[in-house]
C-alpha cells in the first residue's frame, strides 16, 4: 500500500473499504473469469470519516472502526483505485454488519 492510499481521509459518514477477494476461481471443472464473478460483499475498513451531522448540528460518531471486517450490499459504494489497489467508498448506512 503506497503513501497516497494511507493518507485518504473520507468525509462525513463515508468509509473506505478494501474488498476481500473470493479465494476460489474454479467451480467444479468450469473456470469463472473475473468479469463473471459477483462483486465481493465483504471487506475490511481501511479509513473512516468523522461521522455525519445531526439535524441539531452535533456530530454522530460512526459505529465502525479501521480494521473492522464488514458486510455490505453487492452494488453499494463507488469503486476507486488508490496506488494501484481497488477500494470502495461507502456510506456507513451501506454497511449491513460487522463480522468477526
**Count of other CB atoms within 10 angstroms of residue 70:** 21
Among positive and negative, which fits the CA dihedral 18, 24, 27, 33?
Answer: positive
Among positive and negative, which fits the CA dihedral 41, 45, 50, 56?
Answer: positive
* CB within 8 Å of 12: residues ≥ 6 apart: 49, 50, 51, 52, 53
Domains and CATH numbers, the chain: 3-99 (2.30.33.40)
Q: List, for residues 52-77, the tens digit of each pLDDT value.
A: 999 999 999 999 999 999 999 888 99
Write down the pLDDT at residue 38: 64
Residue 94 has pLDDT above 60, yes or no: yes
Amino acid at each position: 500500500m503506497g503513501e497516497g492510499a494511507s493518507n485518504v481521509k473520507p468525509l462525513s459518514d463515508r468509509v473506505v473499504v478494501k474488498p476481500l477477494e473470493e479465494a476460489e476461481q474454479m467451480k467444479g471443472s468450469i473456470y469463472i473469469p473475473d468479469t463473471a464473478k459477483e462483486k465481493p460483499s465483504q471487506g475490511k475498513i481501511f479509513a473512516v470519516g468523522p461521522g455525519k451531522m445531526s439535524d441539531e448540528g452535533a456530530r454522530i460518531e460512526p459505529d465502525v472502526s479501521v480494521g473492522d471486517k464488514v458486510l455490505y450490499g453487492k452494488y453499494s459504494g463507488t469503486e476507486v483505485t488508490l496506488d494501484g489497489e481497488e477500494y470502495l467508498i461507502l456510506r456507513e448506512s451501506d454497511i449491513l454488519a460487522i463480522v468477526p
